[in-house]
Amino acid sequence: MGKTTNYLRYGAPDDQEIIFPVAVVKGKQDGPHFVITAGIHGAEFERIEDGT
């Protein structure tokens, strides 16, 4: 049980580093899993929806 936070680092093709914050929360018992994600720009919901 607990929460762990970290960062996922991605080296983009233009040599820029993109950093994604990640949090993993574990409960007392095994059970269903889910993902919460968010976009920054108004039109990003289509790409987020594709991942579900």
Q: What is this structure's pTM?
A: 0.54
Asked if 24 and 4 touch (Cβ cutoff 8 Å), the reply is: yes
Contacts of residue 11, Cβ cutoff 8 Å, sequence gap at least 6: 17, 18
Is residue 46 very low, low, confident or very high in pLDDT (cuts 50, 70, 90)?
Answer: low
Tens of pLDDT along 20-32? 888 888 989 988 8
- At 17, give phi and psi (nearest 5°): -100, 130
Nearest-angstrom CA–CA distance, 15 and 7:
18
Per-residue pLDDT at 35: 79
pLDDT of 51 above 60: no
Q: Measure the CA–CA gap between 13 and 11, rounded to whole angstroms.
A: 7
As a whole-number percent, the residues of the chain with pLDDT over 90 amount to 27
